[in-house]
Structure formats: structure tokens, C-alpha cells
Amino acid sequence: MEVVRGINDVRPLYDMMAITLENLPSMPTVARATLGSLLIISHIISLTSVSSNNLMVFPEALLQQILKSMLHTDIDTRVGAHHMFSAIIVRGPSHLRSESEYLYETKKQSRNTSVFASATALLEKLRREKESLSSDKPRNIMHDDVKEMNMHEEDKRKNPAYFSKLVSSFIERCATRSSVEETNIAMLTEDQTNQLLSSFWIQANQTDNTPFNYEAIGHSYSLTVLSSRLKNSSNGNIIQFFQLPLSLRSVALTPSEVLPAYCQRSIFTLAMSMLAFAGKVCHVAELSDLLRCFSSSKIDPYLRIGEDLQLYVRLQSDLGSYGSESDQEIAKSMLSDCRTK
């Protein structure tokens, strides 16, 4: 952290990260370990460069490699690429973990746990160090260690507070027309926004996706919308934000011989969350109100739309049954009902 703090220009670090991602191995365990290391670097840069205006536009070369990583053959690596995108586009110590980041600690095999759990532990220490440096009050180290353990257990029981607070904060800043510097979010060019939206379309249509992949896509979509709207608050660029979810909704409700019904159900829920969120950010109140009722719906047993209109995995659900024969039949019935409404 001290090394990064002493660097005035972080662009060479982003170039190094892009080169590393360009050579990302196809072997799942190695790819996850590599991404875990880069995620740590991303968070360190985020913590140390919050007061710097070096990163006004998302680094182009790095974005290209992140987009490639979002299409990696390993589903967990794809989720990790979305976390990396989030860590880079949002700067500052308030970047807490989303619910999906517990994927590596509670919902996957032990081989995933070590890399991302150790990364998480280090990031928590870095956050506390950042807070300590900004405070004149002395800290009790032993008390902090106990507090960290309690926090770790408490966080697992919490709703995904990170995205809820982040989204509310940025929407408020959009409404008050805050400057780019005040938002601590990297801007996306029009071309970058289009590339991200196109990539989300491809990602959502992959047949090996898990609920965590859809959640990650939904969160990255929301950050893309927020960044673009902060850059340009006019209504001239909002069509693209609705075109993607409307197209995904069409795919979800059209009988397919390629996409399994359970995938189409997840895509449908993803599309609804995207539409509701875009409606809120773009001030289409009627759309947000119309779709808000879907947030309490039990249509999807694995995904839910939160109060912040974000997509979240139902961690209490039996995720091991996702994609089973019985789940496939249930999804077919649900989609059939949606088509007739």
C-alpha cells in the first residue's frame, strides 16, 4: 500500500494489470489465483487514489482485457472479472463487498476459498489502515482484531449493503448534478459503454452461467449506467440502457432449443432488474414503480430484486439444485405463465 501511495501516476500499474489479464491462463485454479491478486491491487489503488484525479476515464487497455476475462471458460473467473471492474470504476475506502463476493467463502468448493478469502482479509486490513491514517484518535489493535472477527461474521448475515449504499449515493449525486470529482467513479466513454453493454448481452446468453454470474452482470450493468449518466445527464443517451434488458427479456420469453428454461428464467429476472434500475437512474418513475412489485416476487427461487432494484442471489436457496431436471420443469412452467400475462 505504501508503494502505491507513493506513485503519482497509476496508469503504468493498470497497463501491467492489462498485460497480466491478456495472458490469463485457461486453467481455472491458476486463473482464479491471478485474478485474486489483481483484485487486491485494484482495491489498493482504489484506497490510495481516491483523492487523485488521475483516473477520470476508465483505462482502455485494461477494460478490453477485463471484457475478455468476463467471457473466460471458468465461471468463477468470470465473476471475479466483474468484481475487478467494480473495484476499478469505483474509488475510495467505502467500497465494501457485495453479497456475491461471499461466493468464494460460502458457496463454492474449498479450492476457491483460499485465494479470495485471503484477499478479503488483506483488503479488510487495508481499509482499517486507511481509516486509521485519516483519524487522529489512537487505535487499540487487540480491540480491532476482535472487531474484525465479529464484523466478518456479521457481514455474512447482512443484506448486500455495499451496492444499496453505493447506488443510493450515486443516484443522489446524479440528481444534485454533482461534479465528476465528487462521485469518485471513473467515467466511461461512449464507445466503452457500448462495448460493455454488448458484452453483457453475450455473457447473459452463456448456457453455463450460475446465479452468481447473472448477479455480477447485473451489478456491472448498474455501474455502467451510473458512470454514463454522471458523464452525460441528458436524455439523449438513455435508449441504449433500455435496449439491452428489453432484448434479454425477449430472449427469456421466446421458446429456445439452445438456452435451457432455467437459464431463460434467470435472464428474465436479470432483465427485470435492469429495466427497473435504468428506470430509476433515468428518472422514468412509472417504469420503476411498475417493476418494483417484481422485487417481492417468488418467480425465481435463486435470484431476487432488492429494494435498491439490484439483482441478488438468494443465498438461502438450494443452489445445488440450480439446473436440475426438476428446476428445469419448474422454470418451463414459470416462463409459460409469463408468456400468457
The DSSP output letter for 233 is -
Residue 47, pLDDT score: 73
Instruction: Count CA atoms closer than 13 A to 216's CA, side-chain side.
Output: 29
Contacts (Cβ under 8 Å, ≥6 apart) of 262: 322, 323, 327, 328, 331
Q: Of the given ranges (12-21, 102-111, 275-284), which has the lowest mean pLDDT?
A: 102-111
Spatial separation of the C-alpha atoms in residues 97 and 162, rounded to whole Å? 6
Residue 296, pLDDT score: 55
Asked if 88 and 54 count as a contact pair (C-beta separation under 8 A), the reply is no
- Rounded to 5 degrees, what angle do the CA atoms 200, 82, 71 make? 55
Q: Of the given ranges (73-77, 90-94, 255-259), which has the lowest mean pLDDT?
A: 90-94
Spatial separation of the C-alpha atoms in residues 87 and 96, rounded to whole Å? 10
Tens of pLDDT along 276-331? Answer: 999 888 888 777 666 766 655 678 999 999 888 899 999 899 999 999 999 999 99
The count of other CB atoms within 10 Å of the CB of residue 139 is 11
Mean pLDDT over 218-223 rounds to 96
- Number of residues written out for the chain: 341
Spatial separation of the C-alpha atoms in residues 333 and 107, rounded to whole Å? 27
Quote the pTM value.
0.80
Q: What is the dihedral of CA 210, 214, 217, 219, to 10 degrees?
A: -120
Residue 288, pLDDT score: 66
Residue 286, pLDDT score: 74
The DSSP output letter for 206 is -
Instruction: Name residue 261's amino acid.
Output: A
To the nearest 5 percent, what fractions of the chain are helix, strand and coil? 70, 5, 30
Residue 292, pLDDT score: 62
Which among 73, 77, 65 is positioned nearest to 21, based on CA atoms?
A: 65
Residue 169, pLDDT score: 62
Instruction: Give the phi and the psi of residue 300 in degrees, each rounded to 5.
Output: -110, 115
Asked if 39 and 80 count as a contact pair (C-beta separation under 8 A), the reply is yes
Instruction: Count CA atoms closer than 13 A to 205's CA, side-chain side.
Output: 17
The sign of the torsion formed by the CA atoms of 105, 62, 128, 131 equals negative
Residue showing cell 432488492 = 306
Spatial separation of the C-alpha atoms in residues 312 and 129, rounded to whole Å? 30
Q: Check whether 199 has a pLDDT greater than 70.
A: yes
Tens of pLDDT along 123-174? Answer: 555 556 555 655 554 444 434 444 443 443 344 334 455 555 556 666 665 5
Spatial separation of the C-alpha atoms in residues 89 and 100, rounded to whole Å? 18
Mean pLDDT over 219-234 rounds to 83
What is the rounded average pLDDT for all residues in the chain? 77
* b/e per residue 90-104 (b: at least 16 CB within 10 A): bbebebbbbbbbbbb
High-pLDDT (> 70) share of the chain, %: 63
